[in-house]
Amino acid sequence: MNRLALFDCDGTLVDSQHVICDAMEEAFDQHQLVPPSRAETRRVVGLSLIEAMQALLPEADLSLHARLAEDYKRAFQGMRRRGAVNEPLFEGIVALLDQLEGKGWLLGVATGKSDKGLAHCLENHGLGGRFITLQTADRHPSKPHPSMVMQAMADAGAGPATTVMIGDTSYDMMMGRAAGTYCLGVDWGYHHPDELRIAGAHGVAEHPDALVDMMEKWS
């Protein structure tokens, strides 16, 4: 079977926290609600929008969660039109992808972003053709449900024994574990390394270079 390196996007490939927090604050302002702190918003990065709103406002009803999710999308789209979306790649990511491809790994993404949001992000960094499978919140249940991982493996001709889920949140680790894959956390994202280990990470990398060695030793 093929070997698949399946990446989360926000907090793993790109540092998108500032634009996510700005959009969240604008969405809450639309409803005259006190916005969550930036730390609270970072905690829900990776979840699909409805689930993120439910986590931030657990006492609110589903209709408010849905309206907030739509207003978040509009806020994000407005920032994109204004050229205000800045999602820089973390240092070392391009070199990491190069190394993995050179060692025969196929690459994929499993993210809470929308199809459009992921496409914009990858195209802006010239990465649109690097990934054999792109799984988003538009077509799957929210993390940590394993649906995205299962479809990515099917697309890549890989299986749980030849797939590594790589992410920065406990949701990523739980998703990978639920699909039976090897799971590696990264400590440059939005959840603490201890949380990643508790959620099932087999290891946590401190820098992209470390991921290659960890993956090659496992496989």
pLDDT tens for each residue of the chain, 219 residues long: 999 999 999 999 999 999 999 999 999 999 999 999 999 999 999 999 999 999 999 999 999 999 999 999 999 999 999 999 999 999 999 999 999 999 999 999 999 999 999 999 999 999 989 999 999 999 999 999 999 999 999 999 999 999 999 999 999 999 999 999 999 999 999 999 999 999 999 999 999 999 999 998 887
Q: Where in the chain do CATH 3.40.50.1000 domains reside?
A: 2-15+87-218
Measured in degrees and rounded to the nearest 5, phi and psi for residue 130 equal -85, -20
Per-residue model confidence (pLDDT) at position 118? 96
Q: 10 an active-site residue?
A: yes
Which of these is catalytic: 8, 15, 71, 172?
8
Q: Where in the chain do CATH 1.10.150 domains reside?
A: 17-81
Per-residue model confidence (pLDDT) at position 137? 95
C-alpha dist (Å) from residue 207 to 10, 17, 187, 212, 216: 16, 19, 8, 10, 15
Please provide the CATH number assigned to the domain covering 2-15+87-218.
3.40.50.1000
Please provide the CATH number assigned to the domain covering 17-81.
1.10.150
Rg of the chain over all Cα atoms, to the nearest angstrom? 17
Which of these is catalytic: 10, 22, 168, 172?
10
pTM for this predicted structure:
0.95
Per-residue model confidence (pLDDT) at position 128? 86
Q: In this structure, is the dihedral angle defined by the CA atoms of residues 130, 135, 138 and 144, taken in order, positive or negative?
A: negative
Per-residue model confidence (pLDDT) at position 211? 96
Q: 29 an active-site residue?
A: no
How far apart, in whole angstroms, are the C-alpha atoms of residue 206 and residue 219?
Answer: 20
